[in-house]
Structure 1
């Protein structure tokens, strides 16, 4: 049973990440076919992240109530179907809508999938298993642009959805072999009030922060913070909340691990985008060469994640994750000193170092989060972790947008190279500082995992 669960979760983790990253290379072809504006195309990519972030917690709680395996299987089927439907899209607006739905359905798969993994494997090997799952995510992120490019070039962009939908459906074959079911709050009433507050809070905060340089963005962000306060109040009053606030009270491991996850992704998600801009626009390299150099980081991440996860089974996960965050902070600061004539070997080595730090952080941090709560909270904890990741990713790209605007970077054709290079250096310095705060959050955990407050 264990191996079937692992295979299913690894497949869906790979496909979910690939669908998120691979769509970027298909956007030019989609834009030409539908004569779409750049802004509309960016929302085709962003809608997937928004859908996932908005539905993560509500669907994670639904899995605890209805059965994690049951919701996971339903999610796989519906996710695969929407991928196939996307291949028949007749307009960019339809594609945006279906991508938003795909993100929501992926939330139906990711959180329950990790919760099932934590349920079927013994605590002593949980870190290693979560390492395999994390490696699958990284492989998907890595292969997405490369495989997506090949598919779009030789078969057309529609086949990107047809093929990924078919592979995603194969995960169901393995999960159908699993007979046991797992619950966290079986038969409990669903928290509709809390879900509504949460689903209003997330888009207000994310979109508001992305437009924080405008008055409207500031108002939306403040409204999002107010909605967050209301969400916390509603959850404290609910007997069956989608997010049990008691998970955070007196449980520094859980609280600090989630905060560290958000800060880590805020500091690292935009690395590939910025390095790609540096290599192609500043250094004048081809997309193929730039992609090969960036691949070094993901290679280290995918290779070492299972080993780092296994290490966290033997050593306090908080210590391993803190070391990884510290390595990333050093690597990000090193990237902030890149100039026009920097050695490509040096760039590759820095990215490999960051890949090592990333691997040392992610799997152990995931292990620490699940180890800091009781099994009945695995669904909620997994969904919350996914939410922290997506919020961090959104903040990372928002920081890039803000700094680019402040530095008056208007073009990536070569006309604004000095301003672009200056912006990239500033952004990496900001990211290294964010990583320092992440280290503090990571070190603030107790030395031993505990659930005394639960």
Structure 2
């Protein structure tokens, strides 16, 4: 371990590259996904109107990206460890940009979903390696702050996405969102040669093809089954996904270089409980912007730009809180900060479960503020706890797990909403005739998310006790 610390110190002081520039480039690429995802939420009514699709189908605009992302995150992280993290990271940026440009040619909802799936593959390659690159670049004591900057980029994307997405959709059409995304990726590609060689070191482990095939089919069956959970076919797919999930875990236990870091999960309780807390956190919070954007436009009659402006509150708060909580997690046990964040988020989600057609806008703004503080307190410290609990050789797999829990949580969040919509509203286009049912769907969704967050607090506190015992 001493030699590892000594090597990292030498790397950080070498004159041939700039840590700050590398952090900026990684952070800029990290910004792309949350910006596009949050911006497109404001464009959903326009997309639904152009292609004449129901609310459940509209949810697939986000879910197709998430499905691709969660399928390819673990393989992308393993490829980063074995073939070079910088190479996989930059290739992901190229694929993401290509998907954005192809979206400009969309002529049907089916084409849009295919191009969003392609973006998801590129996004997986970016996110699976971004935190690993930062962790390799920054030593303990500085790592929490650097991760906090990276997390801030996510929240900055979430902040600017609704505002710019609303403006772009209203004045230039929803396709302009993807053009802006492609333009934003250009600087990252232009400075690709600035990454130092040590960040691209390779171990040449054998790639886990059986694990890739099993995990892909398992995740596909799970998500599609979740969206069709009210039908016999959906229940059958969920049963199949359970069998495949067990088979995947057993196969990974026997693989010398598994996609899923089974040994770390079984032996490192801080790693396991921190990832469980992350999964639950994103499952409970990702669909907040989706639900509120539809609520504000359908129930309150907001224009996309106005709805996006109000939704700015939550991610702007996160932008300011995330670096502070990251710095704080360098000084005290990260799990304590993350647990406090979950508790604060739970308060805001409970408030949203009480939404009505007459809820004052001031109350909605206050709840967005509360959820923003909670998420800002949680993400950076929780990621710092995960990455600091593993050895450098496993940074890629650990980074991929962080991103996988985020994407899987997002997928579960959207899947939960789709199930609730299907049960309460059916496969019907949202119209004034079913606004009461839509509002009930929103209330039920937020109630489920509140209960999930309470469960997440349990896992986070369990992680804290484990870390304290090991210390």
Matches within 5 A, 1:159-174: 159-174=176-191
| CA separation of 1:84 and 1:399: change in aligned 2, threshold 3 A | closer
- Equivalent pair of 2:166/2:306 in contact (CA under 8 Å): no
> Does the residue aligned with 1:315 lie in a helix, a strand or coil?
coil
| CA separation of 1:145 and 1:212: change in aligned 2, threshold 3 A | same
Measured after TM superposition, the shift of residue 81 of structure 1 is 3.1
- Equivalent pair of 1:373/1:451 in contact (CA under 8 Å): no
Q: Does residue 186 in structure 1 map to residue 189 in structure 2?
A: no
Measured after TM superposition, the shift of residue 446 of structure 1 is 4.1
> Does the residue aligned with 1:373 lie in a helix, a strand or coil?
coil
- What is the aligned partner in structure 1 of residue 455 from structure 2? 437
- What is the aligned partner in structure 2 of residue 55 from structure 1? 72
- What is the aligned partner in structure 2 of residue 303 from structure 1? 320
Q: Does residue 107 in structure 1 map to residue 121 in structure 2?
A: no
- What is the aligned partner in structure 2 of residue 16 from structure 1? 33
Give the length in aligned residue pairs.
451
| From 82, 98, 120, the counterpart of 1:65 | 82
| From 394, 401, 423, the counterpart of 1:377 | 394
| 1:370-405 alpha-carbon deviations (Å, 9 max, x no partner) | 111111111111111111112211222222233334
| 1:37-68 alpha-carbon deviations (Å, 9 max, x no partner) | 45766544432221111111011101100111
> Does the residue aligned with 1:314 lie in a helix, a strand or coil?
coil
| From 21, 27, 32, the counterpart of 1:4 | 21
Gaps of 5+ in 2: 1-17
Give the TM-score of the pair, scaled to structure 1. 0.91
> Does the residue aligned with 1:123 lie in a helix, a strand or coil?
coil
- What is the aligned partner in structure 1 of residue 438 from structure 2? 420
- Equivalent pair of 2:81/2:202 in contact (CA under 8 Å): yes
Q: Does residue 364 in structure 1 map to residue 375 in structure 2?
A: no
- What is the aligned partner in structure 1 of residue 259 from structure 2? 242
- What is the aligned partner in structure 2 of residue 229 from structure 1? 246
Q: Does residue 389 in structure 1 map to residue 402 in structure 2?
A: no
| 1:213-246 alpha-carbon deviations (Å, 9 max, x no partner) | 1111111111111111111111111111112201
- What is the aligned partner in structure 2 of residue 143 from structure 1? 160
Residue range with higher mean Cα deviation, 138-147 or 107-116: 138-147
| From 225, 237, 243, the counterpart of 1:220 | 237
Give the TM-score of the pair, scaled to structure 2. 0.88
> Does the residue aligned with 1:249 lie in a helix, a strand or coil?
helix
- Equivalent pair of 2:277/2:460 in contact (CA under 8 Å): yes
Q: Does residue 84 in structure 1 map to residue 115 in structure 2?
A: no
Whole-Å separation in 2 of the counterparts to 1:32 and 1:343: 28
Whole-Å separation in 1 of the counterparts to 2:141 and 2:422: 48
Measured after TM superposition, the shift of residue 335 of structure 1 is 2.1
> Does the residue aligned with 2:312 lie in a helix, a strand or coil?
helix
Whole-Å separation in 2 of the counterparts to 1:298 and 1:329: 16
| 1:271-328 alpha-carbon deviations (Å, 9 max, x no partner) | 2233334444444444444333322111111221111111111111100000000111
Whole-Å separation in 2 of the counterparts to 1:86 and 1:272: 22
Measured after TM superposition, the shift of residue 198 of structure 1 is 1.0
Residue range with higher mean Cα deviation, 192-201 or 164-173: 164-173
Q: Does residue 318 in structure 1 map to residue 331 in structure 2?
A: no
- What is the aligned partner in structure 2 of residue 259 from structure 1? 276
Gaps of 5+ in 1: none
Whole-Å separation in 2 of the counterparts to 1:335 and 1:250: 38
Whole-Å separation in 1 of the counterparts to 2:448 and 2:106: 40
